[in-house]
Amino acid sequence: MFLRYVFKQLLIPPGILFIFVLLAWWLRRARPRLAGCLLALGLGGLWLMSLPVVLRTAAHAMESVPPLPMEQWASLAQRADAIVVLGAGRERDDAAWGGTDQPSALASERLRYAARLAKASGLPVLISGGLDYGRPPSEAAMMAESLEKDFGVTARWQEGESRTTWENATRTAAMLDKEGIKRIVLVTHGWHMPRSVWSFQQVGFTVVPAPMGFLGGQSAGPLGGWLPEPKAEWQNGWLLNEAIGAVGYRLFYR
């Protein structure tokens, strides 16, 4: 998993774009034309990734699963038997919490939405998320604690071994099959939902998607979104990672 992480960070933008810039500097004398092309690709790619207008366009294309209407929340128990919330990373060694790991901001957004659904529907909750390169606690354990203490909802199940979305699906299936549960409400971000739905359907679930945290509806901001913003840089990184993952999953997983 460590090597997978390193290669992923280097080969997916912005990592590969920084490599282009470094290669351009290294080749500036020996291969000036090639260096110029690499510099243009690197800096041009970094500029495009920093634009809110690019973020909105990409998000509109990827957030293909519509939101779950609020008027349907109370009747979810007629369509599903459990709510599954997917992990979304952690903040390491947070000094405000005594130096302990905490759920990331993305994970907390998912928990908030799942708590609302659980209270409205009465459905039990499963949280899926594994360890950080073998380091406890699992994302599932951290999120379950936050779900109970911050939102007043107790998670019935914790799946704390998965490291990928595919493993979220396969390991959740192994747990819920024992309960005879094949219909779930799936909670994750809008840009992550298509790949997540596909994965859970592949392992036999009937899925009611409950996407949240949409990026495509954000305001374009000043100058129509053509002014670079740091936030757009890393959000576009999420979308690129998701686009590559969506293609890779259909090639390698069944």
The position carrying tokens 């903040």 is: 91
Distance CA 167, CA 130 (A): 9
Cα distance between residue 199 and residue 175, in whole Å: 16
Give the closest residue to 13 by CA, choosing from 163, 253, 225, 237.
Answer: 237
131 lies in the same domain as 206: yes
Domain shared by 201 and 241, yes or no:
no
pTM of the model: 0.92
| The pLDDT of residue 37 is above 80 | yes
> Is residue 77 domain-shared with residue 199, that is, in the same domain?
yes
The verdict on 29 and 74 lying in the same domain is: no
Same domain, 156 and 190: yes
- Helices assigned H by DSSP within 50-164: 52-62, 105-121, 139-151
Residue 219 pLDDT exceeds 80: no
Cis peptide before 136 (omega within 30 of 0): no
Same-domain status, 189 and 80: yes
What pLDDT score does 44 carry?
Answer: 96
pLDDT band of residue 1 (cuts 50, 70, 90) is low
> Is the link from the previous residue into 124 a cis peptide, with omega within 30 of 0?
no
- Shared domain for 17 and 106, answered yes or no, is no
pLDDT digits (tens, 9 = 90+) for 224-239: 889 999 999 999 999 9
Q: What is the pLDDT of residue 63?
A: 96
Report yes or no on 217 lying in a domain: no
Distance, in Å, from the CA atom of 229 to the CA atom of 204, rounded to the nearest integer, reads: 41
- What gap in Å lies between CA 76 and CA 118, rounded to an integer? 9
Let me know if residue 242 belongs to a domain. Answer: yes
* Chain CA centroid to CA 207, Å: 18
Q: Residue 222 falls within a domain, yes or no? A: no
Element (H, E) at 26: helix 15-26
The CA–CA distances, whole Å, from 179 to 167, 175, 193, 243 equal 19, 7, 24, 33
The answer to whether residues 237 and 191 belong to one domain is: no
The rounded distance, in Å, linking the Cα atoms of 87 and 32 is 46
Which CATH number characterizes residue 102's domain? 3.40.50.620
Of the candidates 72, 23, 28, 61, the residue with the CA atom closest to the CA atom of residue 240: 61
Residues 96 and 147 in one domain: yes
With tokens 């990184």, the residue in question is: 237
pLDDT tens, residue by residue, 141-192: 999 999 999 999 999 999 999 999 999 999 999 999 999 999 999 999 999 9
Task: Quote the domain boundaries for residue 155.
Answer: 67-212
Number of domains in the chain: 2
Phi, psi of 138 (to 5 degrees): -70, 160
Tokens representing 122 are 């009465």
Per-residue confidence band for 134, with pLDDT thresholds at 50, 70 and 90: confident
Shared domain for 76 and 173, answered yes or no, is: yes
